[in-house]
A and B are shown apart, each in its own frame.
Chain A
Amino acid sequence: MTNVDCDRLVDYLNGTLSEDEIEQFEEHVKTCTECQEIVEATGELPYLADPVEPPADMKARILSNVFEEKPEQNNPPAALNPAMSPIPLHRKKSKPNIWRPLIAAVLLASLLGNAYAFLQLSDQDDAPETAIESIELQPSEAFAGTATAEMIQEEGSLNLVVQANQLAELDAGQVYQVWLIKDDQPIPAGAFSPNPNGEGASYYQLEENLSEWDTIAITLEPETGNELPEGEIVMSAGI
């Protein structure tokens, strides 16, 4: 393998060549049996993967997004069969808000569950404590998004619903993380990634009381599951 082109085999397989270099290498492969055979053998490696069941609705999502990618085609973009509902994954397209029903459902469930408590509360009775606080979060400088937090205090637990709009698209792996803070001690309280309309929402339930916290903040984290904030605060508000 003194051939310079053969040297590029590993880079080719590792996806580090430029488009021109890829073309050059593919020309080389046509005439170099050894590189050809190695490329083919490498093509067997994916079979090492253990079978993982894909999500049932993934096909509908992917195909509808794929076909939407080319609006100028002859046939109007349509789902392949009527059962397919086009839920976009990460494409910028105008689509129904998939979050709103979730938020509505969460709030409704919570509110219905508390309807009785509400009535009791208004009578100043000895009802379980229930309180709702709605908070507008303030974006930090250079951040265009907006968010509101609904904190619903039920008996012994606090439900936190955050809904955000006009969010910028995230890089892979990044996530908007919600934090509740008391005396500069944050705890993670839900996370979300924006949908294609730049909207995101999270729901989080915790055991503590509303009065335990003094600040709510949203940071842009490089990854999910951080126990302490690593990213910058993009929105926050006092409670």
Chain B
Amino acid sequence: MEKSTDTSLYLRISEQDKAALEQLYDRYEKILFSFLYKMLEDRELAEEALQEVFIKIWRGKGVYDESKGKFTSWLFRMAQNTAIDLIRKRKKPTVPIEEAAQMASNDTPVDVQVEWQEKQEQIETAVQRLSTEQQKMIDLFYFKGHTHETIADMCDIPLGTVKSRIRLALKKLKTSLHGMQERGAYDD
């Protein structure tokens, strides 16, 4: 079966092709919902954020083109920013709700599951190579959407160095991801 690329779907969506948006939705619903749930720890908020993401795509707010890198990076960044907006509107972090059962999926296409699993293993390994402090900073910065001030407090580091430390952590992450991807390419 010929699969449309994300970019071609995106182009059709920009011409208001509903079927293309539905395809894109199906392709990324689960990873985006899981990611947003990880950030927001609330199923309703995760749904609200996800809806916002697809409204932005449908309305052409925030335009993607290949010069901006991979489509998924762009899509995930938009989701992450939307979640951060919700987090910052909220006064206190909520307590995680246990009801969000983490189940093996039944209706996600197998290739999507496999890809996710592979990527998860890869990024987990890369994250584990970071120092504990770096891991914590990435979690606070990326998933929890904390400001630099909060991160400085929580990690007990000077405010002035928060940015450069996050950058260093991300750089290290990038380097080990690259290393793995290159090795993976040779393995193939």
Contacts and interface: CB of A to CB of B under 8 A. Distances in A.
Interface of A: 1, 7, 9-11, 13-16, 26, 29-30, 34, 36-55, 58-59, 61-63, 65-67, 69-70, 73-75, 80, 89-90, 171-173, 222-225
Given A47-B120, A49-B38, A173 B89 contact: yes
B136 interface: no
B48 A172 contact: yes
B27 interface: no
B173 A7 contact: no
A49 B37 contact: yes
Contacts of B31: 46-47, 49
Interface of B: prevailing SS: helix
Contact of B69 (A36, A51, A75, A171): A36
Contacts of A39: 69, 73, 77
B86 A172 contact: yes
B167 A67 contact: no
Interface of B: 16, 18-19, 21-22, 25-26, 29-35, 37-38, 43, 45-48, 50-51, 54-55, 58-59, 67-70, 72-74, 76-77, 79-81, 84-86, 89-92, 94-95, 100-105, 108, 113, 116, 119-120, 122-124, 126-127, 138, 141-143, 145, 147-148, 163, 166-167, 170-171, 173-174, 177-178
Contacts, number: 194
A150 B113 CA distance: 49
8 contacts: A10-B166, A29-B68, A49-B31, A52-B100, A53-B103, A58-B47, A59-B29, A66-B51
Contacts of A13: 77, 80, 141-142, 170
A48 B124 contact: yes
B95 A225 contact: yes
A24 to B, nearest CB: 14
Contacts of A49: 31, 34-35, 37-38
